[in-house]
Structures are given as structure tokens and as C-alpha cells.
Amino acid sequence: MNRLRIALTKGRLQEESVALFERMGLDCTQVKNPGRRLVHSVSNYPLDIVLAKAPDVVTYVEHGVCDLGIVGKDTILEMGRSFYEVLDLGFGRCRFALAVRDGEDFYGTYKTRRIATKYPAVARAFFADKGMDVSVIKIEGSVELAPLLGLADAIVDLVETGATLRENGLVPIEDIHQISARLIVNTASMKLYKPEILDFVGKCERALEETK
């Protein structure tokens, strides 16, 4: 079999991806003890693992330096896609939501609303579908600060439990997208290494089915 290369999103998705791989029977010793290495080999399956930030996972797969990747649907929605999204892995679940200061009537005004977010493409697409004219402000840090400081009327952000919103006096008023980790595949790799990729996808599916 040809050796495949997969990019994993660092952090929580990395941990859950490795747990999935181990249920698939893959030896993940190297990636669990990475040291300073950037590429890690699975000893009992033709697979190399690259750890990367979420946007870079998409970039590596799109450009074909990695055949596969595991990344959140949030990153896919924000960055666009020119690859195959083949499997919803079911972990890393959260949602995109529109949130405002508690008690604020967001839709009851004709003024142009200002929206703070780390995900401007997602926010613009959401409000474009509603036919609403908004001003989107890109925030890199804690987006919850923007309404508190008077910079924005609302935020579009990832929400898991809603605890951070509540602690800052914000409430979600509308869900935008459900988010989870996805397995993506480079389009050329799917043609060149189809048997190997389908074998890997099949192992993923069986491991996921066993945990239901």
C-alpha cells in the first residue's frame, strides 16, 4: 500500500483523533510522545501524521502535501473548500451562534448592526442570506468583549455550553451552523490513492460505529 499523510488539528481535536486511531488499531506512540518532531509515523499502518493549526490543515490538504486532514467544520465554512469532505467524525461538537447582550432587541431596529467575530466569512454569509446589511468587525481574541465595550451590537462565535456567554452577560438568540470534526481528502489523492484512502475511511467508519 502507498503511504498516506494526514494532517491533524492540534489541541482537543488532536486528542480525539488519536483516540479514534487507537480504536482503529493504529499504533500512535510517536504522535502521543511527539517531542520536537513535526511528522510522526504510525508503525503498523502506512500513515504519517502531521500536527498543525486548523487553517493550515485545510491549506496542506488543498495543496496536496497531505492526502487527508481532520479539521472542524467551522474552519471549512470560514475558509471555503476545494477538497472532499468525506466523513463527519462526530466529536468536537459545538455550534455557531448569534449572541447579544441580555435583554437587547437585536432585530427590532433599522440601523446597520455591527457584528464582531473571528469568522467574518461565516457572519457575512449568514446575514446575506437574511438580506441584512451589517458591518462585520474581525476580532482575534475574546470576542465577548466587543458588545461589553460598545464596539459591536452582537457577536457570531462558536458556542459549546454557553457558560462564557452567560458569564459576560450575553445570550445566544439564533443558531447558525452545527459544528463537528470532519475528515477531508485532497481531490487528486482520492484519484491516485483511492484504495488506500477507502481502506482508511472504512476503518474510521467501523471504529465510529463501535462507539455508538
pLDDT in tens, 93-127: 999 999 999 998 999 888 899 999 999 999 999 99
How far is Cα 15 from Cα 37, in angstroms, rounded to an integer? 17
What count of other Cβ atoms lies within 10 Å of the Cβ of residue 78? 20
Alpha helices in 33-89 (DSSP H): 54-62, 73-79
The three-point CA angle 57-175-207 to 5° equals 45
- The pLDDT score that the predictor gives to residue 108 is 86
Q: Classify each residue of 24-63 as buried b or exposed e, where b means 16 or more C-beta atoms within 10 Å of its C-beta.
A: bebebebbeeeeeeeebebeebebbbbbbebebbbbbbbe
Task: List the grid coordinates of 176.
Answer: 447558525
125 with 185: CB under 8 angstroms? no
With CA atoms as reference, report the closest residue to 157 among 197, 100, 200. 100
Work out whether strand 94-101 and strand 154-159 pair parallel, antiparallel, or are unpaired. antiparallel
Q: Per-residue confidence at 152, pLDDT binned at 50, 70, 90?
A: very high
With CA atoms as reference, report the closest residue to 84 among 176, 200, 1. 200
Domain 94-177 CATH class label: alpha beta
Boundaries of CATH 3.40.190.10 in the chain?
4-92+180-210, 94-177
How far is Cα 14 from Cα 29, in angstroms, rounded to an integer? 14
Indicate if the pLDDT at residue 212 is higher than 80. Answer: no
Q: How many CA atoms lie within 13 A of 139 on its CB side?
A: 22
Indicate if the pLDDT at residue 38 is higher than 90. Answer: no
139 with 165: CB under 8 angstroms? no
The three-state secondary structure class of 162 is: coil
- The pLDDT score that the predictor gives to residue 81 is 81
Superfamily in which the 4-92+180-210 domain is placed by CATH: Periplasmic binding protein-like II (3.40.190.10)
Query: Torsion angle of alpha carbons 187, 190, 192, 196, nearest 10°?
Result: 150
